[in-house]
Amino acid sequence: MTLERGIATLFLAICIAYGYVAFVTMQNELLPFELNMSFLPNTLPRALSVLGAVIALVIILTPSKPASEGGTAAEFKNVAWGNIAQTFGLLALMVAYAMTLRPLGFIGSTSLFLILGGLLLGERRFVLLTAISVFAAFAVWYLVERLLEIVLRPWPAFLMTQ
């Protein structure tokens, strides 16, 4: 099965789950007065689940054509495993960044994210990388908090009074 149809099959499953919630769960949760109304919270979801399931079936059942030239699907062939490992590493780093943003503070976690990201990609000029990362973290924090006045906690939680 091609990736294309795999995705369509998965989407069909999502539509069925989505439709179950729309047709059964939400229908049971309706308040008595709502039953007389012509437009309900589950009206659009019901329509969408049916429509989505039909389209997914069309994709699954029609014979697929070869991938278009120059499309991203064609680029998939050039991907090397080493790069996939790097990609997953960067994704893990992004998750770690989201988790540490509050506890470590903006400047700490941003500097770490930029330094580790650079190292992961193979950068060996550690001092330069650290200098640029810390400077960038400070600069962005200054721009966002001072000029845009959007509060970013710069330091670890235990150092901040509020």
Partner 1 sequence: MIEGIWLGLSTALSIQNLLMVIAGCLIGTLIGMLPGLGPMSIIAIMIPVAIKIGDPSTALILLAGVYYGAIFGGSTSSILINAPGVAGTVATSFDGYPMARQGKAGKALTIAAIASFAGGTVGAILLMGFAPALASFALLFHSAEYFALMVVGLSAIAAFAGTGQVAKALMMTVAGLMLATVGESALFNAPRYTMGVQDLQSGIGFITLAMALFALPEALFLVLNPARSKSQSGNGAGEIKDLRITGDEAAKIAPVIARQSVQGFLIGVLPGAGATIASFLGYAVERNIAKGDEQAEFGKGSVKGLAAPESANNAACTGSFVPLLTLGIPGSGTTAILLGALLALNVAPGPRLMVDRPEVFWSVIISMYIGNVVLLVLNLPLIPYIAKLLAVPRNFLIPFILFFTLMGAYIGQNNATELLLLVGLGVIATILRFADYPLAPLLIGFILGGLLEDNFARAVNLTDGIGFMWQRPMTLAMLIIGILLIILPAYRQQRAKALSKGVAQGD
* CB neighbourhood size of 109 (10 A): 20
Give the residue ranges of DSSP H helices in the chain.
3-20, 26-29, 43-61, 72-75, 81-104, 106-120, 126-142
Tokens 């200098």 belong to which residue? 131
Sites for partner 1 among residues 93-122 (CB under 8 A) = 94-95, 97-99, 101-102, 110, 113-114, 117-118, 121-122
Determine the Cα–Cα distance for residues 98 and 119; give it in Å rounded to an integer: 19
Looking at 16, 67, 154, 156, which residue binds partner 1 (CB under 8 A)? 67
The answer to the question of residue 130 lying near partner 1 (CB under 8 A) is no
Candidates 129, 154, 132, 130; CA nearest to 141 is 154
Residues in contact with partner 1 by the rule CB under 8 A: 2-4, 6-8, 11, 14, 18, 21, 26, 29, 31, 37-39, 41-45, 48, 51-52, 55-56, 58-59, 62, 65, 67-68, 71-73, 75-76, 78-79, 83-84, 86-87, 90-91, 94-95, 97-99, 101-102, 110, 113-114, 117-118, 121-123, 129, 132-133, 136, 140, 144, 148-151
